[in-house]
Amino acid sequence: MKQFKRFIERDGSGYVVLMAEESEDMWHIYNLIRVGDIIKASTIRKVVSETSTGTTSSQRVHTMLTVSVESIDFDPGAEELHLKGRNIEENDIVKLGAYHTIDLEPQRKFTLQKTEWDSIDIERLNTALDPAQAADVAAVVLHEGLANVCLITPAMTLTRAKIDMPIPRKRKGFTSQHEKGLEKFYEAVSVAFMRHVNLQIVKCVIVASRGFVKDSFMEHLIAHADANGKKFTAEQRAKFMLTHSSSGFKHALKEVLETPQVAARLADTKAQGEVKALNQFLELMSTEPDRAFYGYNHVSRANQELAIETLLVADSLFRADNVETRRKYVKLVESVREQNGKVHIFSSMHVSGEQLAQLTGCAAILRFPMPDLDDEPMDDDE
């Protein structure tokens, strides 16, 4: 996603000028735009003109329209977002108040204006603007003297650092220069890795090389982290996967990702945090039901008692047409985070999100049992 301008007042009102660059960006835009928002974008309108003799002709012309959104239709396959609403600014071609549909797609610039940009909107916008925040997987492909440190998102591979250093040849009786060159190279790659890879976010790290270069680098990386007070925990070490690659060039990463063992590992890491939280919730419903509740009323009451350890929320709740419905879930998320609780926002495009939606889209794992919550009535729609 590319941002050209952002202007948001202290009261939350304001606008941003954006352009989607990838298919994944269209999903973020779909989650940002709601009924009542104002969209300004270039569009095509058919204009019919009549001559003095009574004959008519039509032509398609480009015009800039400002529309108050009344309906939203997203087509993930075509990567298009269809926004229907009334024109709210004077225009030579389209009458004030006339209906028009604006189609948003990648590489089309537009302005999105809201009366209120809440914390969930800002969080999603910042995530879309910095793809590294959404990277589930990091990778280091290397051979002696060349390494690429990459972050892999669902839509793209981002090269965060390229290290290219000459390594003295290994000669009989003179191996010290070769060893020093390698140490210097491993140190440079380790520094780049620690700077660009956040092991709190990344769920899997692939280290690939030919021969034993990957093993030597891994030993150096662990020592580097220890020496700089950033010792890897057992959980972080378990994220690393060592495998073979033909070289340290970036294109070698493609063949690494296609190997069966790596593909299987990546399938497990995708949305791993959300899946793990949902499985834990479902298991608690069977074993400790007084620590697992769903439905806004139950979850909100648990939050009032500072009892929520993990909150599970479907992103569809933040697309609600009812402003008050959205606000109450935004406040719930903010409150749980203030109390140092974990929050997982599930995508409705993922199977785990669909499963959560069947449980009202809102669930919580509690820090301690609350058997009295069963007496709390649920909402009518729940």
Q: What is the pLDDT of residues 288-316, one digit of tens each?
A: 999 999 999 999 999 999 999 999 999 88
Confidence of residue 141 (pLDDT cuts 50, 70, 90): very high
Determine what percent of the chain is predicted with pLDDT higher than 70.
90
Tell me the whole-structure pTM to 2 decimals: 0.64
Nearest residue to 28 via CA among 100, 109, 118, 120: 120
Q: What is the pLDDT of residues 157-202, one digit of tens each?
A: 778 899 999 988 877 666 788 889 999 999 999 999 999 998 888 8
Pairing of strands 292-294, 362-366: antiparallel
**In the chain, ranges of CATH 2.30.30.870 domains:** 2-49+58-129
Sheet architecture: strand order including 157-164: 157-164, 146-152, 137-143, 204-209, 240-244
**In the chain, ranges of CATH 3.30.1330.30 domains:** 271-366
Spatial separation of the C-alpha atoms in residues 347 and 337, rounded to whole Å: 19
User: Which CATH fold would you assign to the domain 2-49+58-129?
Assistant: SH3 type barrels. (2.30.30)
**In the chain, ranges of CATH 3.30.420.60 domains:** 137-267
Q: Please state which CATH number belongs to domain 137-267.
A: 3.30.420.60
Distances (CA, A) of 160 to 57, 152, 209: 55, 10, 18
Q: Rounded to an integer, what is the distance from CA 230 to the centroid of its chain?
A: 26
Distances (CA, A) of 378 to 25, 297, 298, 301, 351: 36, 6, 7, 11, 25
Pairing of strands 99-104, 308-314: unpaired
Level-2 CATH architecture, domain 271-366: 2-Layer Sandwich (3.30)
